[in-house]
A and B are shown apart, each in its own frame.
Chain A
């Protein structure tokens, strides 16, 4: 060519962090404004998200609480030794001492006949009936905790059989099996809830994605014109991403409310149940962490869903 073009000037990009922050704040507020202009449809979308999140969260809380409850027994795979009725307290104490000296036993605790009766009277509700008996029907019990090296199911079983060989001991009962079973059940449930949670998270992603897709379609001509006058992809994307975040956040609030309501409804029965198990078990104890996870996770899901929709559909809008 006849003449060389002069060097092209660089495009000016706005890199002022304050402007950037302002833009994001404006976008966030504007997106919320758009959502509140259609309160019913916004609420309905958010409610679907809320229910989808509340379901696995609630189940998770429940299982987690059962875990804590069973966890307090877990380590103590103990053996209850029911002693011969005829033994006196001194004799009972002697056999306890003998057993506690075994090197496969970590701990042996004696529950005397009187103590057993007291406990039974207090917890079972049969106090009046017991008064009718002229004699304490309960045997003394020695609670044995096996040594750390002997706490497997097999070793505990072997220990129990050996202890049963003592003349003073009527019956050795391993209190392990059902703890194990409960543990296995909660593990299974937990896995099930994890699968459910994954599915419902995917559902939230799709719900937000679909809502944003419709929104993009509605604002097709606006997007086209913004592209024509030099709007960057980030500029076009931003309002939709904030809408996704808001949907997630509103959904999170709804989810937490639902879980709280469910907990409130369950509080009474659970307290009674916990009382029967001699536990000051409190359903709400573990909730704050879960709620924080919902408050952070749900908006992130909304953002991801919006991002999916925006990524797929904005590219297709090309000004002509």
Chain B
């Protein structure tokens, strides 16, 4: 589902984000990306979501070579990759419902279908009762769950999360991770960057550790 082939990313500033990463994630697999800040976790996720393009090597997602993807096709690629951020990236002048509906609106989905899907997504993150409230009045954990609902509402085959529990206390973090485990069980390929090593170790999933832009260790590469 996701494959990195000797991938390097050098930023315009000269900083090397990644230098020679090989990695394969099978469809339906779940993995955690760990490592110090600056190790390249965010860069790796950005290359998958095409927020950045690789300077060397090849990135494959959903059987597509992202190097060959034209700019005009990038939006369509992003519709197949749900992205979750530490700072939620919600729009504060819109209701929870409208925030979650955005990927569907962008894809031109009909009104009735949009409503059905948004409410289903909100139900999965236990926020259906808050659909009409504004994000500001929600707690940090709830805001993150809105972000997750938005990432999943269009049922993308790939889910990326960059430090989704960065601002949350341990209990809330565990709750959020449980959500990801649930989604992974229905077949979503999931890659989560986090520095919360204790939490990750307790979940028994594959852990890919990055260090200075390279894969330092990889526990569960299945083959």
Point out residues on A near B: beta carbons under 8 Å.
1, 5-9, 11-14, 19, 23, 221-222, 224-233, 235, 318-320
CA distance in complex: A297, B75 (Å): 33
**CB nearest neighbor in B for A11:** B76
| CB–CB B106/A231 < 8 A | yes
Q: In the complex the two chains form, is A229's CB within 8 Å of B150's CB?
A: yes
Instruction: Select B63's contact among A1, A6, A318, beta carbons within 8 Å.
Output: A6
Interfacial chain B residues near A224, Cβ < 8 Å: 89
- The number of residue pairs between A and B whose CB atoms lie closer than 8 Å in the complex comes to 69
Complex interface residues of chain B between 36 and 65 (CB less than 8 A to chain A): 46, 49, 51, 60, 62-65
Is B79 located at the chain interface by the 8 A CB criterion? yes
On chain B, the residues within 8 Å of A232 by CB distance are 72, 75-76, 106
Question: Closest Cβ of chain A: how far from B44's Cβ, in Å?
Answer: 14
Q: How far is the CB of A33 from chain B (nearest CB, A)?
A: 14
A23 surroundings in chain B (CB, below 8 A):
108
Question: B interface vs A, CB < 8 Å?
Answer: 3, 5, 46, 49, 51, 60, 62-65, 72-73, 75-79, 83, 89, 91, 102-103, 106-108, 150, 154
Task: Please give the distance in Å from B154's CB to the nearest CB on chain A.
Answer: 8
What residue of chain A has the Cβ atom nearest to residue B223's Cβ?
A2
Task: Check A229 against B103 for contact (C-beta < 8 Å).
Answer: yes
Q: Report B34 CB to chain A, min CB distance, Å.
A: 21
Q: Which of A14, A225, A319 contacts B102 (CB 8 A)?
A: A225
- The 6 A-B residue pairs with the shortest CB-CB distance, nearest first, are A230-B79, A11-B76, A230-B78, A229-B103, A8-B64, A231-B106
A-B pairs with beta carbons under 8 Å apart, 29 shown? A1-B5, A5-B3, A5-B63, A5-B65, A6-B63, A8-B62, A8-B63, A9-B62, A11-B76, A12-B76, A13-B76, A14-B107, A221-B89, A221-B91, A222-B91, A225-B89, A226-B102, A229-B78, A229-B83, A229-B102, A229-B154, A230-B78, A231-B75, A231-B106, A232-B72, A232-B75, A235-B75, A320-B46, A320-B51
Question: What residues of chain B lie closer than 8 Å to A226, measured between beta carbons?
Answer: 102, 106
Chain A residues whose CB sits within 8 angstroms of the CB of B154 once the complex forms: 229-230
Residues of chain A within 8 A (CB-CB) of B64 are 8
Contact present for A9 and B79 (CB under 8 Å) = no
CB distance from B15 to the nearest CB of A (A): 14
B residues less than 8 Å from A318 (CB atoms): 51
Would you give the shortest CB distance from A38 to chain B, in whole angstroms?
Answer: 14
In Å, the complex CA distance between A233 and B75 comes to 8
Would B106 and A229 count as touching, CB distance under 8 A?
Answer: yes
* Given contact pairs A7-B63, A8-B64, A9-B63, A230 touches B108 in the complex (Cβ within 8 A): no
C-alpha spacing A14/B107, complex, angstroms: 8
Collect the chain A residues with CB atoms within 8 Å of residue B103's CB. Answer: 229-230
User: Contacts of A222 on B, CB cut-off 8 Å?
Assistant: 91
Q: Which residues of A contact B49 (CB under 8 A)?
A: 228
